[in-house]
Amino acid sequence: MTTLFCDVILFDLDGTLVDSHVVVERQWRIWAARHGLDGDMLLGMVHGRKADESMRMVAPHLDIAKEAALLAAAETADLDGVVAIPGMSDLLRALPSDCWAIATSGSHSIATARLKHVGLPVPNVLVTADDVTNGKPAPDPYLLAARRMDK
């Protein structure tokens, strides 16, 4: 067994704490079809990015703020297939609540809906796409989460 000594742990959400790929792929395919775009091509670039950044890359002519809000609402409402990654519930409940945070490319509404749906705690510090200008892969979400942890 490996022992890790640290003051803070910053987690990603999707693919680390929850498996939401079914919903992400379903909703992006619906969005792509609605706009005449290739869903497979789109899925190759959206994972881990802010929705508005992905949309700007493939459909800059659209009202990006409106489209991102519509997609966020659809992903927030669609929880069919979202599951906790095995072992994460036990891990998070074993950690002191002031020692871990989440930094995600999803919106606050999506993140909290997914956490609640799978029965995982919502952390005191939750940095989402709503909080940063530059989403992942830029380090901004993690840097902001670390600052908010104030450790």
pLDDT in tens, 105-147: 889 999 999 999 999 999 999 999 899 998 888 899 999 999 9
C-alpha pair distances (Å), 14 with each of 7, 47, 76, 149: 23, 9, 13, 21
Domain regions of the chain by residue span = 9-19+83-149, 21-77
pLDDT tier for residue 1 given thresholds of 50, 70 and 90: confident
User: What pLDDT does residue 49 have?
Assistant: 84
Is 90 in the active site? no
Is 52 in the active site? no
Give the pLDDT confidence of 28-78 residue by residue, as tens digits.
999 999 999 999 999 988 887 889 999 999 999 999 999 999 999 999 999
The fraction of the chain above a pLDDT of 90, given in percent, is: 81
Give the phi and the psi of residue 63 in degrees, each rounded to 5.
Answer: -75, 95
Residue 133 CB contacts under 8 Å (≥ 6 apart), including other chains: 140
User: What pLDDT does residue 91 have?
Assistant: 95
Tell me which fold the domain 9-19+83-149 belongs to: Rossmann fold (3.40.50)
* Given the residues 7, 12, 38, 140, the one annotated as active site: 12
* Given the residues 7, 14, 98, 131, the one annotated as active site: 14
Give the residue carrying structure tokens 């919502």: 122
Compute the Cα dihedral for 91, 99, 148, 112 and give only its sign.
Answer: positive
Query: Tokens for 94?
Result: 């074993």
